[in-house]
Amino acid sequence: MTRSFRVKQDYIAKVKLAVQYKGYPRQQDLADELELSLATVSNFLNGKFVYNLNFQEIAEKLGFDWTEICETQNKESHKSRKENIKRLNPELYVEREPDNFQYIEREPYESQCYEFLAKPGALIRIKAPEEMGKTTLLSRVLSRVNQQNYKTRTLSFELADCTVLNNLRQFSRWFCASVAKKLELPNNLDDYWDDIFGCNSNTTAYFQDYLLPKIDSPLVLALDNVDRVFEHQAIADDFCRLLRGWYDLARRSDRNSAIWNKLRLIIAHSTEVYSALDVNHSPLSNVGFVIELAELTIEQVQNLAELHELNWQASQANQLMAMVGGHPYLVKLTLDYIYRQNVTLDYLLQIAPTEAGIFRDHLRKHLGTLKQHPELAAAFYEVAIATEPVQISSEQVFKLHSLGLVKLQGNQVTPRCNLYRQYFPERLGVQGQMVYNS
């Protein structure tokens, strides 16, 4: 059977309309109901190839006969593209998989994850600013270890609402019940919970005496979007102490350590949250193995272009990286747009630092954050207008680097990319100049 299908061109508008007609306000809502990634649903709706079983499932959910709307993959064309990628960079090539469409390996990060997850009681932190590929890497790693007799579950803290995140007891019980549900176990919280012992002790007892004994293989529990927790002082410190405590329990030589050796944690979080905290405070400092994601290399950018069916030379990859660096989200956004809209790279780069450019939402989000913190805005204004690396206070370096706005060069910093250098000075304008000159 053909591995991948895509929606025929003349049906794309119809399937997009069907999403709203069937009662899904957002593509994410449809993805959640089908338990597929947002990328898979988006690829389907935009006429890109998706795994055949996923294609059939989405089509049927939207009320279509999948055999009527599908177009099969051109095997010869796809084969030639694969062979070309293998020839250019065999170590970076991976097959397109259902939820890893157009995925490029991020070594050495993947190998490091596999190595540390093999250790009982492991804890890995995948750390980077938003949109640097944390969730994608997380999904890739879980997909692989799931094939190696590990039980894998993901809990995203995006699912926790404000009523949960503003009360430690409510949050702790939500966390316990959510993991139990992921493991398809009944909610027996009331049998293990006694308020006199406090939330962390109760949560630990629930895992130690109920959840972990119920599983017969190591559990890799991935906690995604942990920044939501860090943003709430009422729960952040206690939750971080809980995770530190579990990490220590697995390393003790007592009767409980064997139980805790079953649990391997992967925590994915953006460093952006630290901009609101004291510069010397890191909620999970010195805990576990830390992976800090770097930018894509030029080889990886070229291979992503190839996977988007763009016959790029090295000069075009360099041209794009001269504007956005190796920022995974900005690179992928550019390639997706060129692939879908059939526009030129030159045109996109010309309008890139303007409100008409495809990066406007990304840039406005950062601009909003800076304007909420005038001293930080002034520091970045100084960095953005400089023609050479500049030295600013260590606290400002920490916060701007956490936001993903600057690169470090020793004790000095530069804007992460030319896009930021071109966009921000004018918009920070008088505010940045006044604080900077005062």
Question: 57 is written with which tokens?
Answer: 């499932």
- Residue range 344-349: mean pLDDT, rounded: 93
pLDDT in tens, 367-401: 999 999 999 999 999 999 999 999 999 888 888 98
List b or e across 341-374, with b for residues whose CB sees 16 or more CB atoms inside 10 angstroms.
eeeebeebbeebbeeebbbbebbeebbebbeebe
The pLDDT value given to residue 253: 78
Q: Beta-strand (E) ranges in 77-188?
A: 123-127, 151-156
pLDDT of residue 286 exceeding 80, the answer is no
pLDDT in tens, 43-82: 899 988 877 778 888 998 999 988 899 987 554 444 444 4
Close Cβ partners of 360 (under 8 Å, ≥ 6 residues apart): 354
Which of the four pLDDT bands, split at 50, 70 and 90, describes residue 188? Answer: very high
Pairing mode of beta strands 263-269, 219-224 = parallel
- 291 versus 342: the higher-pLDDT residue is 291
pLDDT in tens, 246-260: 999 998 878 888 999
What pTM was computed for the model?
0.69
pLDDT of residue 89 exceeding 80, the answer is no
> Partners of 291 in the beta sheet?
126
- 98 versus 421: the higher-pLDDT residue is 421
